[in-house]
A = this chain, B = another copy of it.
Amino acid sequence: MTPDSIKKLVALLSQLPSLGPRQATRVAFHIAGMPTSEVTELARVINETARLKRCTQCFRIDELTTGRCTICANPRRDQASIIIVEKETDVLTLEKTKAIKGRYLVLGDLPKDGVLTTQQRTRLAALKKSIADLPGGIASEIIIGFSPTTYGDLNAEIVAGQIKGITQKISRLGRGIPTGGEIEFADEQTLDAAIKNRN
Protein backbone atom coordinates (compact mmCIF):
# COMPACT_ATOMS: atom_id res chain seq x y z
CA MET A 1 0.00 0.00 0.00
CA THR A 2 2.59 2.57 1.06
CA PRO A 3 5.11 3.42 -1.69
CA ASP A 4 8.70 2.33 -0.92
CA SER A 5 10.15 5.81 -1.05
CA ILE A 6 7.55 6.98 1.48
CA LYS A 7 8.46 4.08 3.78
CA LYS A 8 12.15 4.98 3.54
CA LEU A 9 11.40 8.64 4.23
CA VAL A 10 9.21 7.76 7.23
CA ALA A 11 12.06 5.65 8.66
CA LEU A 12 14.49 8.57 8.36
CA LEU A 13 12.05 11.22 9.62
CA SER A 14 11.12 9.09 12.66
CA GLN A 15 14.69 9.46 13.90
CA LEU A 16 14.41 13.23 14.09
CA PRO A 17 13.50 14.84 17.41
CA SER A 18 9.80 15.55 18.04
CA LEU A 19 8.57 13.37 15.13
CA GLY A 20 6.85 10.13 16.12
CA PRO A 21 6.10 7.45 13.49
CA ARG A 22 2.56 8.77 12.95
CA GLN A 23 3.67 12.36 12.41
CA ALA A 24 6.58 11.17 10.25
CA THR A 25 4.12 9.34 7.97
CA ARG A 26 1.96 12.42 7.65
CA VAL A 27 4.99 14.62 6.91
CA ALA A 28 6.32 12.11 4.35
CA PHE A 29 3.04 12.08 2.40
CA HIS A 30 2.92 15.86 2.63
CA ILE A 31 6.42 16.15 1.14
CA ALA A 32 5.56 13.65 -1.60
CA GLY A 33 2.51 15.75 -2.44
CA MET A 34 4.39 19.06 -2.73
CA PRO A 35 5.24 20.49 -6.16
CA THR A 36 8.51 19.00 -7.46
CA SER A 37 10.26 22.38 -7.26
CA GLU A 38 9.51 22.59 -3.51
CA VAL A 39 10.66 19.02 -2.90
CA THR A 40 13.93 19.75 -4.72
CA GLU A 41 14.42 22.97 -2.75
CA LEU A 42 13.90 21.17 0.57
CA ALA A 43 16.45 18.50 -0.39
CA ARG A 44 18.90 21.19 -1.55
CA VAL A 45 18.67 23.18 1.70
CA ILE A 46 19.09 19.99 3.74
CA ASN A 47 22.24 19.19 1.77
CA GLU A 48 23.44 22.74 2.38
CA THR A 49 23.43 22.23 6.16
CA ALA A 50 26.00 19.45 5.76
CA ARG A 51 28.55 22.23 5.12
CA LEU A 52 28.13 23.63 8.63
CA LYS A 53 30.70 22.63 11.22
CA ARG A 54 30.78 22.36 14.99
CA CYS A 55 32.82 24.79 17.02
CA THR A 56 35.90 22.95 18.31
CA GLN A 57 35.42 24.42 21.79
CA CYS A 58 31.67 24.53 22.54
CA PHE A 59 30.56 22.00 19.88
CA ARG A 60 27.84 24.33 18.69
CA ILE A 61 26.91 24.21 15.01
CA ASP A 62 27.76 27.51 13.34
CA GLU A 63 28.51 29.19 10.02
CA LEU A 64 32.16 28.16 10.08
CA THR A 65 34.40 25.80 8.24
CA THR A 66 36.89 25.21 11.02
CA GLY A 67 37.91 26.48 14.47
CA ARG A 68 35.90 28.32 17.08
CA CYS A 69 32.45 29.91 16.80
CA THR A 70 31.74 33.63 17.15
CA ILE A 71 30.86 33.27 20.85
CA CYS A 72 33.95 31.26 21.78
CA ALA A 73 36.25 33.49 19.72
CA ASN A 74 34.83 36.70 21.28
CA PRO A 75 37.59 38.15 23.50
CA ARG A 76 34.98 39.87 25.69
CA ARG A 77 33.40 36.59 26.76
CA ASP A 78 34.70 35.22 30.06
CA GLN A 79 36.48 31.97 29.22
CA ALA A 80 36.50 30.92 32.88
CA SER A 81 32.70 30.92 33.16
CA ILE A 82 30.89 28.14 31.31
CA ILE A 83 27.26 27.14 30.96
CA ILE A 84 26.64 23.55 29.89
CA VAL A 85 23.44 23.16 27.83
CA GLU A 86 21.74 20.31 26.03
CA LYS A 87 21.27 21.73 22.54
CA GLU A 88 21.89 24.58 20.09
CA THR A 89 18.41 26.01 20.53
CA ASP A 90 19.12 26.43 24.26
CA VAL A 91 22.14 28.59 23.34
CA LEU A 92 19.99 30.73 21.05
CA THR A 93 17.35 31.20 23.77
CA LEU A 94 19.89 32.03 26.48
CA GLU A 95 21.82 34.44 24.21
CA LYS A 96 18.65 36.49 23.76
CA THR A 97 18.82 37.40 27.48
CA LYS A 98 22.33 38.85 27.01
CA ALA A 99 22.87 37.67 30.61
CA ILE A 100 25.48 35.00 29.83
CA LYS A 101 28.91 36.63 30.00
CA GLY A 102 30.86 33.41 29.64
CA ARG A 103 30.93 30.64 27.06
CA TYR A 104 28.89 27.50 26.38
CA LEU A 105 29.32 23.78 26.12
CA VAL A 106 26.66 22.02 24.04
CA LEU A 107 26.43 18.47 25.38
CA GLY A 108 23.86 17.07 22.93
CA ASP A 109 20.55 15.28 23.59
CA LEU A 110 20.54 14.13 27.21
CA PRO A 111 20.46 10.34 27.67
CA LYS A 112 17.35 8.91 29.32
CA ASP A 113 19.23 6.10 31.03
CA GLY A 114 21.74 8.21 32.92
CA VAL A 115 24.70 7.01 30.85
CA LEU A 116 26.56 9.72 28.94
CA THR A 117 27.37 8.86 25.33
CA THR A 118 30.93 8.61 24.06
CA GLN A 119 30.38 11.92 22.26
CA GLN A 120 29.28 13.58 25.50
CA ARG A 121 32.30 12.21 27.37
CA THR A 122 34.55 13.56 24.60
CA ARG A 123 32.94 17.00 24.93
CA LEU A 124 33.35 17.05 28.72
CA ALA A 125 36.98 15.96 28.28
CA ALA A 126 37.51 18.85 25.85
CA LEU A 127 35.97 21.21 28.44
CA LYS A 128 38.36 19.93 31.12
CA LYS A 129 41.30 20.42 28.75
CA SER A 130 40.21 23.99 27.88
CA ILE A 131 39.86 24.80 31.58
CA ALA A 132 43.27 23.28 32.38
CA ASP A 133 44.71 25.62 29.73
CA LEU A 134 43.23 28.70 31.46
CA PRO A 135 45.48 30.97 33.56
CA GLY A 136 45.05 29.39 37.01
CA GLY A 137 43.80 26.15 35.47
CA ILE A 138 40.37 26.36 37.08
CA ALA A 139 36.95 27.70 36.02
CA SER A 140 35.28 30.35 38.16
CA GLU A 141 31.80 28.90 37.64
CA ILE A 142 30.11 26.19 35.64
CA ILE A 143 26.34 26.58 35.33
CA ILE A 144 24.53 23.37 34.47
CA GLY A 145 21.86 24.79 32.19
CA PHE A 146 19.59 21.78 31.77
CA SER A 147 15.79 22.04 31.88
CA PRO A 148 14.37 21.24 35.33
CA THR A 149 12.81 17.98 34.15
CA THR A 150 13.37 14.44 35.44
CA TYR A 151 16.05 13.78 32.83
CA GLY A 152 17.52 17.24 33.24
CA ASP A 153 17.88 16.70 36.98
CA LEU A 154 19.31 13.20 36.57
CA ASN A 155 21.90 14.33 34.03
CA ALA A 156 22.72 17.45 36.02
CA GLU A 157 23.84 15.24 38.90
CA ILE A 158 25.93 13.08 36.59
CA VAL A 159 27.59 16.07 34.94
CA ALA A 160 28.17 17.71 38.34
CA GLY A 161 30.10 14.58 39.35
CA GLN A 162 32.23 14.86 36.21
CA ILE A 163 33.23 18.50 36.66
CA LYS A 164 34.00 18.50 40.37
CA GLY A 165 37.51 19.85 40.92
CA ILE A 166 37.76 21.85 37.70
CA THR A 167 35.63 24.78 38.88
CA GLN A 168 35.28 26.96 41.95
CA LYS A 169 31.51 26.90 41.77
CA ILE A 170 28.85 24.65 40.26
CA SER A 171 25.33 26.06 39.89
CA ARG A 172 22.03 25.38 38.15
CA LEU A 173 19.48 27.79 36.69
CA GLY A 174 17.05 29.07 39.32
CA ARG A 175 13.64 27.52 39.75
CA GLY A 176 10.51 29.39 40.60
CA ILE A 177 7.26 30.77 39.26
CA PRO A 178 7.73 31.88 35.64
CA THR A 179 7.03 35.54 34.85
CA GLY A 180 3.34 35.85 34.08
CA GLY A 181 2.62 32.59 35.89
CA GLU A 182 0.01 32.39 38.61
CA ILE A 183 0.72 31.02 42.08
CA GLU A 184 -2.61 29.24 41.93
CA PHE A 185 -1.49 27.07 39.03
CA ALA A 186 2.10 26.45 40.11
CA ASP A 187 2.85 22.91 41.24
CA GLU A 188 4.17 22.16 44.72
CA GLN A 189 7.80 21.63 43.69
CA THR A 190 7.86 24.92 41.79
CA LEU A 191 6.36 26.79 44.76
CA ASP A 192 8.79 25.11 47.11
CA ALA A 193 11.67 26.27 44.90
CA ALA A 194 10.17 29.77 44.62
CA ILE A 195 10.02 30.06 48.40
CA LYS A 196 13.62 28.86 48.80
CA ASN A 197 14.84 31.21 46.02
CA ARG A 198 12.94 34.24 47.30
CA ASN A 199 14.78 37.52 46.91
Binding site for B on A (CB under 8 A): 1-6, 8-9, 12, 16-19, 22-23, 25-33, 36, 39-52, 54, 61-63, 70, 87-89, 92, 95, 108
CA distance A16 to B42 in the complex (A): 11
CA distance A87 to B16 in the complex (A): 22
Contacts of A22 in B (CB 8 A): 89
Contacts of A19 in B (CB 8 A): 18-19, 27
Contact A18 B26 (CB under 8 A): yes
A–B Cβ pairs within 8 angstroms, 10 of them: A3-B52, A6-B52, A9-B48, A17-B30, A18-B23, A26-B87, A31-B46, A33-B54, A33-B108, A43-B46
Contacts of A95 in B (CB 8 A): 1
Contact B9 A46 (CB under 8 A): yes
Contacts of A12 in B (CB 8 A): 41-42, 45
CA distance A95 to B51 in the complex (A): 43
- Minimum CB–CB distance from A148 to chain B (whole Å) comes to 18
Contact B42 A5 (CB under 8 A): no
Contacts of A41 in B (CB 8 A): 12
Contact B39 A3 (CB under 8 A): no
Contact B45 A9 (CB under 8 A): yes
Specify which of A8, A45, A47 lies most central, judged by the most chain B CB atoms within 10 Å of its CB.
A45
Contact B52 A46 (CB under 8 A): no
CA distance A97 to B70 in the complex (A): 56
Are A27 and B31 also in contact (CB < 8 A) when A42-B46, A49-B5, A62-B3 are?
A: no
Other A-B pairs, 5, CB within 8 Å; known A6-B49, A26-B87, A32-B50: A5-B49, A9-B45, A18-B27, A33-B54, A36-B50
- Minimum CB–CB distance from A149 to chain B (whole Å) comes to 15
